[in-house]
Structure 1
């Protein structure tokens, strides 16, 4: 990894390269390393719900991408086994959201991760607790 490379592993680089959903939402990977990831996304007008705040599913999608990057450190695929989200403040069009995922525990094939989503002004938009499970699948060769 070079000093300007945001990916600590080729596995995460390959994973995000094939992630059409995150690309469509305009997500940018700031950092991806074993147990830790940072991903940003700017809230667009087409991401708002009927109350003109960011749709909760899209806030969760940002957190989920950071979660996935943090828990996939080898070519063995690790998936979300479950997650809980608490929405703490609304995000609006133009807000730049940042999701920071950190591993809290890893035992065998199971992991526990905390993901905090904040806005550019420091407001906490959401907190997520994610549970991962390493599968028997391996990432396709590129």
Structure 2
């Protein structure tokens, strides 16, 4: 199995169980070894009292992209620590895109950066996640799809 095939199967297995990301309205885009892209169109129920996308929704989008990137090797991996910096508001009706890219993997610990952008390419937020591999996998590599 190639790394790309493993990443695709890992993402498929995770997406099948990811009720939270689906409930929020996220869409899974491209995945690769150590990378993932998710998007979300900002709806009225995503907005806060200022009429802009709630920071928690932006965090959730970045966190989900982080999760798919971290788990792309079929090794169960969870968040150990995350931080986010908000740089611009997400606007009602626009599609936000979170691009996650693993920057370091040392043993069981990984570091992944996620950039959330708006429709016009402006940076909405920068997210950095520290991950930790735990026992388990997303699918049995001894079986075919």
Calculate the TM-score normalised by the size of structure 1. Answer: 0.90
Query: 1:87 maps to what in 2?
Result: 86
- Unmatched 5+ stretches in structure 1: none
Query: 2:130 maps to what in 1?
Result: 131
CA contact (8 A) 1:38 1:99 kept: yes
User: Quick check: which one's strand share is greater?
Assistant: 1
Written as runs of structure 1 = structure 2, the 5 A alignment for 1:60-139 is: 60-139=59-138
Q: 1:7 to 1:100 in 2, by over 3 A?
A: farther
Paired residue total: 139
- Unmatched 5+ stretches in structure 2: none
Q: Deviations over 1:28-83 (max 9, x none)?
A: 11111111111110000001111111110100110011101111023331011111
CA RMSD in angstroms comes to 2.1
Secondary structure, aligned partner of 2:110: strand
Once residues 7 and 111 of structure 1 are traced to their aligned partners in structure 2, the CA distance between those partners, rounded to angstroms, is: 18
CA contact (8 A) 1:6 1:31 kept: no
CA contact (8 A) 1:38 1:100 kept: yes
Written as runs of structure 1 = structure 2, the 5 A alignment for 1:38-49 is: 38-49=37-48
Calculate the TM-score normalised by the size of structure 2. Answer: 0.88
Q: 1:22 to 1:134 in 2, by over 3 A?
A: same
Once residues 88 and 110 of structure 1 are traced to their aligned partners in structure 2, the CA distance between those partners, rounded to angstroms, is: 27
Which of 37-46 and 71-80 deviates more?
A: 71-80
User: Quick check: which one's helix share is greater?
Assistant: 2
Once residues 112 and 120 of structure 2 are traced to their aligned partners in structure 1, the CA distance between those partners, rounded to angstroms, is: 24
Q: 1:115 to 1:88 in 2, by over 3 A?
A: same
